[in-house]
Structure 1
Amino acid sequence: MGPFAFFAGLLLGVMGMGKWQETGSPFWLWGSVSFLVIVLVWGLASVLGGGKK
């Protein structure tokens, strides 16, 4: 996963958190949190894995 994809994923997660604050819907909250966790785990796995493709 490249750095652009990583930061795009973080941006999408933050935008989802903003939607949660606007709507108050728990679906936006848990969807954004799980998306952020997936992006962070994927990024860490690619860094710790040596960036193998």
Structure 2
Amino acid sequence: MGPFAFFAGLLLGVMGMGKWQETGSPFWLWGSVTFLLVVLISGISAVLGGKKG
């Protein structure tokens, strides 16, 4: 389930970037950047947490 959630989050972030280019609204840009950072941080912490166990 983890890899699917990661790629789904990545897809949503990229779609948000496309929406930002269409509308020019900074909310889409910052929302997409924040969402991508959260996905990356949670993915890295899951990988690091999995190695400890």
Unaligned runs of 5+ in 2: none
The list of structure 1 runs, each at least 4 consecutive aligned residues, that deviate by more than 4 angstroms after superposition, is none
Distance 1:48 1:24 in 2: 37
From the two aligned structures, give the one with the greater helix fraction.
Answer: 2
Unaligned runs of 5+ in 1: none
User: Residues 40 and 13 of structure 1: is their aligned pair in 2 closer, same or farther, counting only changes over 3 Å?
Assistant: same
Percent of pairs with identical residues:
83
RMSD: 1.7
Q: Do residues 25 (structure 1) and 16 (structure 2) align?
A: no
> Normalization by structure 1: what TM-score?
0.92
- The alignment covers a number of residue pairs equal to 52
Distance 1:20 1:44 in 2: 26
Q: Do residues 48 (structure 1) and 48 (structure 2) align?
A: yes
Distance 1:28 1:35 in 2: 10
